[in-house]
A and B are shown apart, each in its own frame.
Chain A
Amino acid sequence: MSWLKGWVTPGDLRAAGVLGMNERNYGYILKENKRRNFKNVDDKLITKQLAHRFGVSSPGFIGLISCQYEIRKFEELVAGRNEFVIKPTRGSGGRGIVVIKGRSDSGGYIGSNGKVVPLSYIREHLSNILSGLYSLGGAPDKALIEECVEFTDAFDGFSYQGVPDVRIIVFRGYPVMAMMRLSTAASGGRANLHQGAVGVGISLSSGRARRAVMNGRIVEKHPDTGRDLCKELVVPRWREHLNIAAGGYEMTGLGYFGADIVLDRKRGPMLLELNARPGLAIQIANGEGLGRRLERLKSGISGLELSPAERVDFSLKLFSSD
């Protein structure tokens, strides 16, 4: 039965508490989230406004381009800035995001990978964003221009270009599981696991790396920088990360989401975006099923209304062993 090697039975997965795609969609995304609340996370502009209202720090706002003729105003918007990020407000999976790190001599810009990005490319890109090329369902979209995050040097050598960010799954306001995504040369500086980025499971209680996975395989060291991922990687100001994630519940009203958080050198942890359909690869990064943790939370939490900090305390106690 050699062809069966590498396959497991549904019973095995259930015993391991693995959350499947259908269960995630049916039991969590559909059941825990009210439809009208989706816009709070699907539209990054609304998320940004909510974060501002709730006092959650997020990357500084530079400008918004909402129709084709406004593209002409682009250069005016970014005048005097060397670093900024262009995002589709309704994009998903990091698609359509362009990071600019400087200006080139020829009047263009320099991307995060050090290559020149001509202005004409940015104009086309903005136009594509507005046409809905990157949005969910292809609906017309807006382009958001934000300040670049000034990375802390705590992660130097852990990431090849790109932003190392932390993804925390939050269920009914309680943090459930966390991972860090590190871009690699293979992922083209992007932090998407399916493109070859490294996923690092982060211990909820300590902010330390549990294990690291790349393309579904366990890795010890970062493939490009060679730094030991498991022994040396610790997320500073971890508790603040958890508090921000848990606070996303009050912000959005969603019962199940993923919070993407980056650590800024000066401003500390910042909410980058929220995701109503967080992927399942976080289980592989942690070497543990999400399903079991979710079940434990379901049976453990009381009906009392707790503050985000109190909920984090609860989660830390419940998942203290990881």
Chain B
Amino acid sequence: MNRLKKLFTVRRVLMLLLIISVIFAAVSIKRKVEVWGFTFDPGSVTRVWTLEARIDFEADDDLVRASLAVPVSSPGFQIESVPAVSDGYSFALEKDTGTNGTGRAIWSSFTEREDDQRLFYRLLVYDAPGVALAEKADGAVLARVDLSESQRAAAESLLERVKNRGGDIPSGVLKELNSSTPGAEVELLLPGRKSAEALCRTAGQVLSLAGIPSRTSIGLQLEDQRNFLMPELRLEAVVDGEWHIYDPNSGENGLRRGFLLFRRGGESLLDLEGGHDGRVRFSASNSAVGSFALSPRRVLGERLDESLFHYSLYSLPLNEQAAFRWLSIIPLSILIVVVLRNMVGLQTMGTFAPILLALALVETGLLAGLILFAVIIALGLGLRNGLSRLNLLLVPRIAAVVIAVILIMEIVAVLSVRFGFGSGSASAAFPIIIMAWIIERAAIIVEEDGIRNALRQMFMTLAVTLAVYFIVSNVYVRHIMYVFNELNICIMILVMLIGTYSGYRLTELRRFRELVK
């Protein structure tokens, strides 16, 4: 029993809790970074592309129905469609028709249309790591082989060579077809220009002979300096039961960075009824948005972890989040104050005054804030000195000081704007009640313990305030403490652990030096 008691001392239990909370925080932070896309860097941005598809066609004086393949999801991207409004057409977005990751945007005209028609479809696309490329290839069927006897023989001999060389077969076939010194087989299989389309078709036939199902996909390579984008073809083939994507011009497996898959599988890009000569033109522009600001759209858009996110701070409206941004920096500030008081041994006027003062300094800026602080305290002390002669009761006297502090702040604000010393509302950032109490306390210390002690305490309070300020004013610290608020649990337990610290304070190493022989 006694042994058990020894094992569960307060300190040990807190130690254990601290370890648990650190592990929890680590797991939770990892999840937030990987799934929610939170970052440690407050300045980190995500590129957001605005992609526009413009469809031009000639209407046949008939009811028109146009259907465009559009991406719903694409590896490496998060996609958000913007409702398209076109005059005289109704619009609908059908998701998950046909193959995975694609949908169709469908416009239907209300009446018969004639002449040139133009429709727009707009998408917001942004980088989103962690969306899988893999797609199960259940029920994939082999393409029908449509080759002459000699072509078939050439294809089989080419396939033989690729298989003998080993490695990825689709990639090998495409490399053979793209060879800069093409053999007779390639000439036979693929006469003329090696367009991506022809390469895909021929490679598909060859792969069919090898029993590998294949299909084509269309996508866009998003690039910074290009406004007009040409759709590019990709060959997909089944390897180990999953669709793999190949660049038909190089045989390269996988997607290059910034490649947005527009549709996968064999569907057409544009279907037109009641029109002809349909053309689709893509243009794109990009901008950078803070990664953190984008995360709600990312999480909710992906339907990942939706319920957890809904119950997190980050699902609150932004203006409400702003208040919690400030609150979530306070635990760290408290930790600093606790360390400076209980482990270093500094004494401050009021336990939490340094924290509130430091937060005020963050709003006002350091130098302006310190000058303001000095001015307000000095004027307030002068006034307090006058009030003490009136023999007022304590609470009304402090109330008078509070009002005086407000008036001083207003005067300072007006003067600082008139004479151009920075922003006028800066002084309003100071916690008025705290300032009034500091003035009251300082006045009493001056009366009782002399000016020297008052100055010393004021100096220590300012020193602690500055220590808190330098940590709190760091944008990284502020961002991390808010975005990864599980750290506050660790801080809470750490503060409790310091509550059991019974070792010497730093200042005691000097105070009691004389007792050491």
Q: Do A and B come from one complex?
A: yes
Seen from chain A, the residues whose Cβ lies within 8 Å of a Cβ on chain B are 6-10, 12-16, 18, 20-23, 25-27, 68, 95, 120-121, 123-124, 127-128, 131-133, 188, 194-195, 216, 218, 280, 283-284, 287-289
Known: A21-B345, A284-B511. 15 other contacts (CB 8 A): A8-B512, A13-B508, A13-B509, A16-B512, A16-B516, A18-B504, A18-B515, A21-B505, A22-B504, A25-B502, A68-B393, A127-B393, A216-B514, A284-B512, A284-B515
With known contacts A287-B515, A289-B515, A131–B504 Cβ distance under 8 A? no
Q: A22-B501, A131-B393 are in contact. Are A283 and B448 (CB under 8 A)?
A: no
CA distance A188 to B449 in the complex (A): 9
Q: How many residues of B contact A (CB 8 A)?
A: 29
Q: Are A13 and B394 in contact (CB under 8 A)?
A: no
Q: Which residue of B lies closest to A10 (CB)?
A: B504
Distance between Cα atoms of A21 and B505 in the complex (Å): 7
Q: When the two chains form their complex, are residues B512 and A10 in contact, meaning their CB atoms are under 8 A apart?
A: no
Q: A23 contacts B502, CB within 8 Å?
A: yes
CB-based nearest B residue for A195: B449
CB distance from A23 to the nearest CB of B (A): 4
Name the A residues within 8 Å of B511 (CB-CB).
216, 284
Query: Could you pull out 6 A-B pairs where Cβ atoms are within 8 angstroms?
Result: A18-B504, A18-B516, A123-B391, A124-B392, A216-B514, A284-B511
The CA of A289 and the CA of B517, in the complex, are separated in Å by 11
A109, chain B: closest CB distance, angstroms: 16
In the assembled complex, which residues on chain A have CB atoms less than 8 Å from the CB atom of B509?
7-10, 13
Alpha-carbon gap, A12 to B504, bound state (A): 11
User: Chain A interface mostly helix, strand, loop or mixed?
Assistant: helix
Q: Cα distance A194–B503 when bound, in Å?
A: 23
Complex CA gap A9/B504 in Å reads: 10
Closest 5 CB pairs of A and B: A131-B394, A124-B391, A20-B504, A26-B502, A23-B502
With A and B bound together, what is the CA distance between A26 and B498 in angstroms? 11
Q: Is B43 located at the chain interface by the 8 A CB criterion?
A: no
Instruction: Point out the residues of chain B lying under 8 angstroms from A21, CB to CB.
Output: 345, 505, 508
Enumerate chain A residues within 8 angstroms of B500, measured Cβ to Cβ: 26
Residue of B nearest to A132 (CB): B394
- On whether the beta carbons of B517 and A16 are closer than 8 Å, the reply is yes
Bound CA–CA A127/B508 (angstroms): 37
> Cα distance A283–B264 when bound, in Å?
83
Residues of A near B393 (CB, < 8 A) are 68, 127, 131
Give CA–CA (A295, B449) in the complex, Å: 35
Which of B388, B392, B450, B515 contacts A16 (CB under 8 A)? B515
Q: How far is the CA of A127 from the CA of B395 in the complex (A)?
A: 10
Complex contact B512–A18 (CB within 8 A): yes
Q: Does A20 contact B503, Cβ atoms closer than 8 Å? A: yes
CB distance from B397 to the nearest CB of A (A): 9
Given contacts A23-B503, A68-B393, A128-B394, is CB(A7)–CB(B513) below 8 Å?
yes
Complex CA distance for A195 and B452, rounded to whole angstroms: 10
Q: Nearest Cβ distance between residue A91 and chain B, in whole angstroms? A: 11
Nearest CB of chain B from residue A116's CB, rounded to whole Å: 16
Residues of B within 8 A of A284 (CB): 511-512, 514-515
Which has the most chain B C-beta neighbours within 10 Å: A8, A121, A128, A288? A8
Given A15-B516, A195-B453, A284-B514, the answer on whether A20 and B391 have CB atoms closer than 8 Å is: no
B510 interface hit (Cβ, 8 Å): yes
In angstroms, how far is the closest chain A Cβ from the Cβ of B401?
13
Q: Separation in Å of the B284 CB from the closest CB of chain A?
A: 62
Question: Across the interface, which residues of B come within 8 angstroms of A95, CB to CB?
Answer: 448
